Structure 1
């Protein structure tokens, strides 16, 4: 008997992404997430049981027609979400298939891995680049902002450093939540010794996903929060950059 092919549960696909990793990227947004970020712009991707099932073979058949564009300028594929790390076995098999086609792989994750299982280890190995979203280093604020502790995300950052895995850090600047100097210093201090980090990307908070919250019948608690000013972004950038990393926004 043949084993059934492994299936992944996905939310959506973007075939020409330009902001989730180097070059042009085919991005798969995986379904399911354990964090409940107050600013989540894909709240409909949180439900672990929604989305559609797909096999690696079916996914690769969609990617092949874009291969010519994706192999230019260091482009490739990105596993995003939701949270791709919740489906490590499927993402690893997909990444292996992409490598056979000469495509680079990027894991866009919040790093919520309770245990460093073989599945997680294999996934990191197959990821040419990891974009790690660190929401807030102050754990008390993190719990209020996302609903859970940041301990696993920080452990994951340290694991990436131990493995010397090529990493970009992403940090969303949310006024009143992550735009204070103390939080910026905490991020700088955490990442200072991590020489595997190529850069830290600051992402200004926006309300582009607010309508999805309303469609779900959920209250968007940050609807009155304005995007951070250029002065705020410059201030946070300067603080974090003082710890030695390239910081962009």
Structure 2
């Protein structure tokens, strides 16, 4: 999937009381079956509080990496694809980066899309779930919840900060609201693959009544060139993708909990 940078935004006068809601948008693209059901218009917002070792988009870590866009400008792009994604049974997904780093902007885009009758999805780690107010979640039809790991030490090794607790609280809040959830778990040999670490994520997912599926995503190195372009070292340059036996074992751990696994 090749993303297109958002073009420069129009002029804006600082200090206006009627100033439109703006956000930092890294790029947008159209994807199929990757960022939610059907064909999706995906807006990648800039900025993320985590520094996951397997991240394939280090170019979205900082808000300054994006371009300032108004909600209206984003909706102009959505309108270009509206009929196409509607007929194809898709919708709009906010991804990143981390969309909840910009909750006001994300919430307004989701609401505007929802008002158009488009299916909406939020791709988030849940680390900033407390920033998602009820209005934002009311406009969200699906949450793609990235659970980085369960074991505390492993979580810190993966993300280099924090703990899984905010994600857990957010997931339970979503389930209590009746919001559909797709759990995502990145499988990295030697990092996230420990039996007990996977078991913790699986038990958590099985305890959420609105989880529709679990996606076990095999680690890959497709974003390694971005690190080189940014003058950064890719932390997992020597790590191989998981083999079929490991994938089968981990997917089996989720399936044993009665979960639908992809």
Give 2:166's aligned residue. 152
- In the alignment, structure 1 residue 227 sits paired with structure 2 residue 241: yes
Give 1:187's aligned residue. 201
Out of 175-184 and 28-37, give the one that drifted further.
Answer: 175-184
- In the alignment, structure 1 residue 66 sits paired with structure 2 residue 81: yes
Out of 130-139 and 17-26, give the one that drifted further.
Answer: 17-26
| SS, match of residue 200 in structure 1 | strand
Given the alignment, which residue of 24, 45, 50 partners 1:9? 24
| SS, match of residue 65 in structure 2 | coil
| SS, match of residue 38 in structure 1 | coil
Is contact 2:111–2:136 with CA below 8 Å preserved after alignment? no
**Cα RMSD after superposing both structures:** 1.4
Structure 2 CA distance for aligned equivalents of residues 195 and 172 of structure 1: 22
Give 1:104's aligned residue. 119
Is contact 1:105–1:129 with CA below 8 Å preserved after alignment? yes
Give 2:222's aligned residue. 208
Structure 1 CA distance for aligned equivalents of residues 233 and 224 of structure 2: 9
Unaligned ranges ≥5, structure 2: 1-15
Cα distance, 1:23 vs structure 2 = 0.3
TM-score, normalised to structure 2's length?
0.90
**How many residues are aligned here?**
246
Structure 1 CA distance for aligned equivalents of residues 133 and 160 of structure 2: 23
Cα distance, 1:2 vs structure 2 = 5.4
Unaligned ranges ≥5, structure 1: none
